[in-house]
Every structure is written in C-alpha cells, then in structure tokens.
Amino acid sequence: MSAQSSSFTIEQFYKAISQKKLIGGKCRKCGKIHMPPRPLCDSCLSKEFDWVELPKTGKLLTYTVIHVAPTQFQTMAPYAVGIVQLENGVKIPGMIKETPLDKIKVGMPLTLEFEECQQTQQWPQWPRYHFKPA
C-alpha cells in the first residue's frame, strides 16, 4: 500500500484496521514509521510517506489501569492501557485485554487483535485493535 495508491489519512488507517491490517506511515526521507499516520514527519519534517504494514506482535513497555473512564468506555472500567513496542521497534498505544489486570507485567509478549466497535455513542464508530497475551 503506497502513498500514491491510497490517501495518507486517518480514514485510510481505520479502513486498514477494518481489514485486520495494522499500517503506519513510513517517511520516504528518513525512514521513520509513524503510527497513527500524520501529515508531517516529526524527525525530518518531510510530507512524503508510504504505507507499511506493521507486525502484530511485540512486548509491553509500560501500562496503567483506568478506573475513571470516558463515557464511551465506562462499562469496561477498570481496564488496562499500555504502550507496546512492536517487533520492528515502533511503539503504539492500545488496550490490554483477555488477561486479569494483576497478571499484566512490563516486558510480557503481546499479540494484536482486531475488533468491531460496539459502542453506540456519538463518538466516531471506527474499528479498533487491542492487545492480548501472546
């Protein structure tokens, strides 16, 4: 998926997630991968990107447990959100599911899963991803 064949927008990012693909924008000038996509590279200020598919496995770098959640997530609280370093080094945020909160440990291997948004709030109803133990 390249910048010429598909617009470099957040909508294209979520379209890929709905197809069970995690993609980021790779800067043509310096090679840095951004996820989610952005219009400007934060390393070299280039506006030229190509879409690249990202790995679906990584390790947990840090996390927190949310007890007081935004309206659309209140029924899930408490829940964990973490930063995961994918196998290629890209760091991304995500919910951590399918494991008890007291079993979550920094450094644990995680796998990406995709889900349809089940919320009925006014918030945009985009497909989501989350992490679970590998």
What the chain holds in terms of domains, given with CATH numbers, is: 10-53 (no CATH), 57-133 (2.40.50)
Q: Which two tokens stand for residue 83?
A: 């930063």
- Dihedral pair phi/psi, residue 74, rounded to 5°: -60, -35
Please give the pLDDT value at position 64.
98
Residue 17 to residue 15: CA distance in whole angstroms: 5
What's the CA gap between 55 and 67, in Å, rounded?
A: 30
Whole-number pLDDT of residue 14: 83
pLDDT (0 to 100) of residue 128: 85
Cα 111 from chain centroid (whole Å): 12
Lookup: tokens for 118? 């089940």
Q: Which pTM value belongs to this model?
A: 0.84
More confident residue, 2 or 103: 103
Distance separating alpha carbons of residues 123 and 97, to the nearest angstrom: 21
Q: How would residue 119 be classed by pLDDT, with cut points 50, 70 and 90?
A: low
Strand extents, DSSP E, 2-127: 23-27, 33-34, 49-53, 57-66, 79-86, 91-96, 109-115
Model pLDDT, residue 117:
65
